[in-house]
Chains A and B, each alone.
Chain A
Amino acid sequence: MGRRSVLLFLLLFLPGIAHAADRVVVGSKNFEESRLLGEIFAQLLESRTKLTVERRLGLAGTQVCFEALKSGAIDVYPEYTGTGLVSLLGEPANLGRSAAMSRVRSEFLSRWNLWWISPLGFESSFEIAVPQELAEREHLTTISDLARISGRLRGGFGHEFVGREDGLPGLEKTYGLKFASVEHLQQAIQYQAAGDRRIDAMDAYTTDARLLRYNLVILRDDKNFFPPYEAAALVRGETLKRHPEVGAVLGLLAGAFDEDSMRALNFRLQEKGESEAVVARDALRALGLTGGGARPPETGRRTTGFAAYLWSERQTLARRTLEHLGLSAAALLLGVLVAVPLGLYLERKRRGAESAIRVLGLLQTVPSLALLAFMIPVLGVGIAPAIVALWLYSLYPIVRNTYSGVRDADPRAVDAATALGMTPGQILTQVRLPLAAPIILAGIRTAAVITVGTATLAAFIGAGGLGEPIITGLQLANARMILSGAIPAAALALLVDGALGWIEKALRPAGLG
């Protein structure tokens, strides 16, 4: 394949790399409310501007969103002032609501040219929730009460909460909390676990609709540890300069919600299983910000069967499957282009080859999520970092098999070919490589299956693909949605394995049995 066709291939499959001028990318974090706000931003921008809106919802946490925004991979995402103050600026949490907003506004503007616009009108603070029955039995009303008996209790907290200074570490210091055990859980699972009394305390947020359903009560933050968490849109200054209408349109949302209305919207997402597209549309209509328009597809209804659900999602699934294949194919192609020559080079050199291959093997043991996360500061979010990470994973099996396949190719045939006067080059191309082809292809096949499997994780950094419904489903505790990604992803892996197995057989040199 020539260099030009490779480029063409990449351009076809990497639409995310080229940052089109009339495009705006909306991001969100990986929990319901953030996704919903992101979707509301996106729909509003779609109906009120001529911009093409791209969604990167469900990015893995605050740091990923923030890095993505700074690097320009996304243009806007919903953020909370308390998070900005404590997590991003690293400042103490001792400010009131409006003071916090003005502080983050001025600091973000001067440090990064990022704009906090249109405070949405509600606060969604961190809260500590405990099962009602426990609260009554132990007379718990404040977090100080909880601290008294925390040595006997099991905590279950979100991954981000455990790591943030305005989360568990600071809370422990302020209140002298010390749980008997602390588990790190996905948000959707925390509620389940608390409802089943497998954990005794968890982090929640004010506007969460599930507190009632699972019989949880919120304990008062009597030492005012948590800062105010006022929600707003955080936008790149460059985006506002390029498209002033983005600021104007998002400004329409200023003060549009309060805690009750937000909780009601979250309830529809969390408890009724409605899609964020539908809930966002209804919210915007109720605010009078968008007209009727076409109904977005109803998704996530729990009344229909799985097959019917898959059928209703077929277009989205087809697109995601293509994205998934595109990601995997690009990574694998780059892997082959690099790993086969590298394997041949190492075989030639021999010295140091084994250790070089071992280093690549070590790379294989880096957890995929960690590797994806490492990519963000360098390459931002989206397709490019995902492809680079997948590419790194694809190298080892191909290099190893190329190296050992060529090295161990039928030594007697190679000896005879040498003795009869073939040049080293002729031996490589006419003897070693053809004889090693089945082994090299087996390595490519292994790499392909790994790549297709790992590509589901790429959705964590906004690269799309079949991981998208899996991750969204995990965030929404929607098993059907998880399966709608997991089943096609597994099928795809099997299919790729089968197809490459067939190619392996077809390319196996005749005469090799």
Chain B
Amino acid sequence: MLAPVSPATAPALEAINVSKTYPGGTSALAGVSLAVAPGETVALVGESGCGKTTLLRTFNRLVDPSAGIVRVEGRPVAETDPIGLRRRIGYVPQDGGLLPHWRIERNVELVPRLLGWDRDHARTRAREMLDLVGLAPDTHARRYPAELSGGQRQRVAFARALAADPPIILLDEPFGALDALTRLELHRQFQTLQETLHKTMVLVTHDLNEAFRLAGRIGVMKKGRLLQLATPDELTARPADGYVRELLELRHG
């Protein structure tokens, strides 16, 4: 497992025996290993506090692990400048995390501008991205986040994550704060983007149905451990332990 792999077949994201213990002794991750192939979408599910968000945040160094190795595109992130790393990884948090004092277009331009694109180029790109996520640029680009609905803000967050065309996107409960109907609509949009853009994605969610619908593989986490990582079919057919089985039953219940 730790043998060197050639770049062509290297996982886009890789966590090897990663642990995170906070000062004071709280353990958020306890020896988690996982690899995500290029173009694959992996969902991380589990209860609040199971470590799924912490694991996600080790990939763009928002969290530095206490032990273990995290690699992005084959390179250990511990040896990578976090600022440059983050600019190459898209990020969609719950509730959008848009900068409230910036117009929509400025929010979408954020990463291209950080990367030093010239203004016109960045602006053109922002409008394309708004178009891509289903927001008419002419009516939305000049607005402020507070003037948009929750669903529209979340679309903007997707546009922002995609703007600099990063190969990897991390999503932290991106649909968590939306009403059911809007969530379904955005799920469809997400699937379209998956098909056209082939990004590597890690999706943290507490909604098992969402994980089944959107992810190629699902990782079930509990108390800082990854209990099982498998395709939806495999998970249904061969749950690794009682907890996973219970979780699957809840899904149908």
Contact = CB atoms under 8 A, between A and B. Distances in A.
B60 interface: yes
A176 interface: no
A255 interface: no
Interface in A454-513: 509-513
B86 A510 contact: no
A426 to B, nearest CB: 8
Contact of B91 (A413, A419, A510): A419
B107 to A, nearest CB: 9
Contacts of B157: 416
Interface in B42-89: 60, 62, 83-87
Contacts of B83: 421-423
Interface residues of A, number: 22
A426 B111 CA distance: 12
Given A412-B93, A423-B83, A513-B146, A418 B99 contact: no
Given A419-B86, A421-B86, A421-B87, A512 B111 contact: no
A511 B86 contact: no
Contact of A511 (B60, B62, B110, B144): B144
Interface string B139-174: 000001111000000000100110000000010000
A378 interface: no
Given A412-B97, A413-B98, A413-B99, A420 B87 contact: yes
Nearest to A411: B97
B223 interface: no
A431 interface: yes
B184 interface: no
Interface in A392-439: 410, 412-413, 415-423, 426, 430-431, 434-435
B144 A421 contact: no
A426 B115 CA distance: 13
Contacts of B110: 417, 420, 422
B101 A421 contact: no
B239 to A, nearest CB: 33
Contacts of A422: 83, 110, 114
B100 interface: yes
Contacts of A509: 100-101
Nearest to A434: B101
A413 B144 CA distance: 14
Interface in A433-453: 434-435
B128 interface: no
16 contacts: A410-B99, A410-B100, A412-B93, A412-B97, A413-B98, A415-B93, A416-B96, A419-B86, A420-B86, A421-B86, A430-B99, A431-B99, A510-B144, A511-B102, A511-B144, A511-B147
Ranked nearest first, the 4 interchain pairs of A and B with the lowest CB-CB distance are A416-B97, A511-B144, A509-B101, A421-B87
Given A417-B97, A422-B83, 8 more contacts: A413-B99, A413-B100, A415-B93, A418-B86, A420-B87, A420-B91, A430-B99, A510-B144
